A and B are shown apart, each in its own frame.
Chain A
Amino acid sequence: MSGGATGLSRRGVLRGSAALGLALVVPLGRASGAKAATLTANAFLSVTAEGAALALPKTEMGQGVFTTLAMLVAEELGLAPAQVAVTIPEGDSARFAPIDQGTGGSSSVRELYKPLRQAAANARAALVGAAARQWGIPPERCDLVGGVVIETKGGRRLPVGDLLAAASAAPLPKDAPLRPSSALRVIGKPTRRLDSLAKVTGETVYGIDVRLPGMKVAMLAQCPMFGGTLATFDEKAARTTPGVVQLVKGSDVLFVVAETYWAAMQGYIAANPQWSAPKGPADHAHILAGLDEALAKPGFEAKSTGDVAAAKARAARPFSATYRQPFLAHAPMEPGSCTAHVTPEGCTIWAGSQVPAQARDDAAKALGLPADKVTFHNCQMGGGFGRRLETDMVVRAVELARQVPYPIKLMWSREEDMKHDMYRPAYADQITAALDAGGKPIGWEHRIAGSSIMARLLGQGFTGVDADAIEGAVAIPYALDAHRVTFQQAESAVPTSWWRGVGGLRSAFVVESFIDELAHAAGQDPLAYRLSLVTDARIRAVLERAGREAGWGKPLPAGLGRGIAVLQLWGTVIALVLEARVADGAITVPRATVAVDCGLAINPLGVAAQVESGVIFGLSAALHGEVTIKGGRVEQSNYHDYRILRLNEAPAIATHIVESAADPGGMGEPPCAVVAPALANAVFAASGKRLRTLPLAMALERVS
């Protein structure tokens, strides 16, 4: 793994770049006076004598873009993926425009597949062109393989190092042809991750691991009641705690600065801060009642095709069900942290962010500085899942850093991380279907109520349909004559944000639970019923494949049941069959079978990793995930009361990739989104109990 012809190993590159987020220049042993050291393909890709250097335009949080994106470059440049030296660059919107460094929405590969291949293909054309000119032959008779341009029907060879200067001097080709699908040797080949060794040896530096000379460590306590303020605290007791350096207070926050995290924690306990509650009720029952109220309102129309009222009028019978989903925390393994140093010259920040450019801008705004006075070194993240699409950690850190003379690492305790997350919204959904005599839906009305994340992002005055919330509800896998979808915003004191899928995740649970209910109501097999309503060939293919691989229809022992769910979103079509056992009031999940058409699967090993990850992440949420509010405070605090699956609870997972000629689809969110409905449907098959409220473990308790 520590390959590369340079003296600098891949591990060295990873360590060096991650350590302080510095852009690392790969030394070129062979570069001499007149030779150009690199051929610049674009603002983030360059070719060197030893390989290529890629500054990741999207960032790595575990999803594997470090490797997938290196593969795209390697393909076009005739390299092995390990010869692409990958670094995580600073937040800088100008450098990467029009690509947004923001990493979310299962977008990395979808957004970069073409531009990145094109940039690498252009560089290849430049090098091949330089060699062809030197040899006086047409470029079509040359290829670039393993760092050497070769004459394909002749023996001549020129190493890339000897061509960089000439290639750089000529205008860079713009629309060079990509390698044809028939010639791909890297794309589509199962490829192990390039960042593994650094991660298994403990060398990878995450945001939380940053250490600077003279740095102090702080922890923060934010008002546990959303919208409340800091009232009093015992400054003297805290100040006299060994290791504590100073306390800094804000209107709704107390920072305790110390030599170590542990000392800061002791100082916090001694400070014993007291808080003033905001006005107004903020209990869970009140929030849920608000959702029900919103659900009863007319709602803003997101879609209306056909005549739902007429369909209802001529229906053999109506069928209606209401589903409820809770607030969810992200709970990534790495708790929040951010290191910042404010000096008279500006501010330098180190943290792991899914939005490094936004983080830099938000920090600049908080400091009243122009953006070019702020440097944001992005780090590897111990999980993102949408939590690090928010910049509150960064803004809190600069709020403190501007008031102290030294570099400061601001740490969130796990409890702080849990109680001051930005939560996946809670929702209530209702679908009413008009059924024909055969039990098929002829009309379908779906009402959605919940917090609007878009409204928060768009600012005051926004009203109407949240475009994200309705994803997966307006386009569903089933043919309907009449289809209406409405959205009604319902806010509470609880701050909401992105999670591993938001609208699509919520919709999948509702739509795929409901269609299952319709199948059973019609006395039909849930898979056969779905297939009878599906018109899209890709959806049909994944349903059939998942069913076949899972042994759909084969008898299972008593207490076990199979459930299925399908989703087409984020450029991907995915079907999941889960086996669930319901016994002694508990749900266990021995087996998961996935069929996925994600378009061209660039790294099948990475696709399978995302499936496994999404299924387990989705199961944690579907079974146990729930954030509740009492007295204005989040009740959960750590992994004992916000449970995530352990190894002994994780199912065996089989991933079947359906061959596809479509462009690559997203894989971060789809596998997670199909879990809750597949599980609810499996629980019904196993026990006859239809659970319409997540999380299912608690819902089962209530009906048992």
Chain B
Amino acid sequence: MSYSLTVNGKQVTVDAGAIDMPLLWVLRDVIGLTGTKFGCGAGLCGACSVLMGGERFFSCQAPARAFIGQPVTTIEGLRDDPLGKRLQDAWVEADVVQCGYCQPGQLIAAAALLKANPAPDDEAIEAGMSGNLCRCGTYPRIRKAVKLAAAGGKA
């Protein structure tokens, strides 16, 4: 028995032995999409964030089975979405990244935030972005980049 997931617009087949693993490990160890990161495995850091529909999920916390029939977007697919590209470009423009390890999760969280609220104020940015840890302390520039992307990004 095998199951089908839709990841970044593509159908991928996952067999019965893997479908009840957290989506994070299906992505990383089965499908080979390693852009989605493992940070804590406990819903604490957001490094494993993916989008389902427009919403952000911690992929370490939900079995792949929960995503059957739903379009999943990972960091590898974010650039195909105009909002995702705008965010990534804003991240580059605001010179956000340091080690970069948390940033796929940060960007997914930012995409979910802007999809729900295209013009977030400081409070909304805090609410939307505080589920993601960054050990390098890139928070000030994340704030800046989210605002930049919300404002339409670079001309």
Contacts and interface: CB of A to CB of B under 8 A. Distances in A.
A383 B28 CA distance: 20
A62 B101 CA distance: 9
Contacts of B103: 199-200
Interface in A164-210: 192-193, 195-197, 199-206, 208-209
A605 B95 contact: yes
Interface residues of A, number: 61
Interface stretch (A107-115, A422-430, A613-621, A686-694): A613-621
Contacts of B34: 202, 205, 208-209, 211
Interface string B100-132: 111110010000000000000000011101111
Contacts of A202: 34-36, 74-76, 78, 104
A16 B155 CA distance: 31
Given A259-B29, A331-B135, A640 B99 contact: no
Contact of A261 (B25, B79, B99, B127): B25
Contact of B135 (A260, A332, A640, A648): A332
A193 B138 CA distance: 13
**Max chain B Cβ within 10 angstroms of own Cβ: one of A193, A201, A205:** A201
A462 interface: no
A1 interface: yes
Interface string B13-45: 000011001100100111010111111111011
Nearest to B29: A260
A512 B138 CA distance: 26
Interface in A244-263: 259-263
A668 B9 CA distance: 41
B44 A639 contact: yes
B100 A380 contact: yes
B96 A640 contact: no
B99 A242 contact: no
A613 B98 contact: yes
A196 B100 CA distance: 8
Interface in A616-659: 616-617, 638-640, 644-648, 650, 652-653
Interface residues of B, number: 59
A639 B45 CA distance: 8
Given A61-B99, A209-B34, A200 B136 contact: no
A382 B103 CA distance: 10
Contacts of B44: 638-640
B133 interface: yes
A263 B137 CA distance: 33
A334 B30 CA distance: 20
A242 B17 contact: yes
A413 B45 contact: no
B3 interface: no
B17 A639 contact: no
Contacts of A652: 140
Given A335-B38, A335-B39, A645 B137 contact: yes
Contacts of A380: 99-100
A655 B127 CA distance: 26
B100 A200 contact: yes
Interface in A365-379: none
B79 A201 contact: yes
Interface string A55-77: 00000011110000000000000
A243 interface: yes
Interface string A25-40: 0000000000000000
A332 B99 contact: yes
A609 B95 contact: yes
Contact of B133 (A201, A605, A639): A639
A361 interface: no
Nearest to A331: B135
Contacts of B104: 200, 202
A64 to B, nearest CB: 7
Interface in A334-392: 334-335, 380-385
19 contacts: A1-B92, A193-B95, A196-B95, A196-B96, A196-B100, A200-B100, A260-B18, A260-B30, A262-B21, A263-B21, A331-B135, A333-B99, A333-B134, A382-B101, A383-B136, A615-B137, A639-B133, A644-B133, A650-B137
Interface of B: 17-18, 21-22, 25, 28-30, 32, 34-42, 44-45, 47, 74-76, 78-79, 88, 91-93, 95-104, 107, 125-127, 129-143
Interface of A: 1, 61-64, 192-193, 195-197, 199-206, 208-209, 211, 217, 242-243, 259-263, 331-335, 380-385, 413-414, 605, 609, 612-617, 638-640, 644-648, 650, 652-653
Closest 7 CB pairs of A and B: A202-B35, A382-B101, A616-B137, A62-B99, A199-B100, A202-B75, A62-B98
Given A260-B30, A380-B100, A650-B137, 9 more contacts: A62-B98, A62-B99, A196-B100, A199-B103, A334-B39, A609-B98, A646-B133, A647-B126, A648-B126
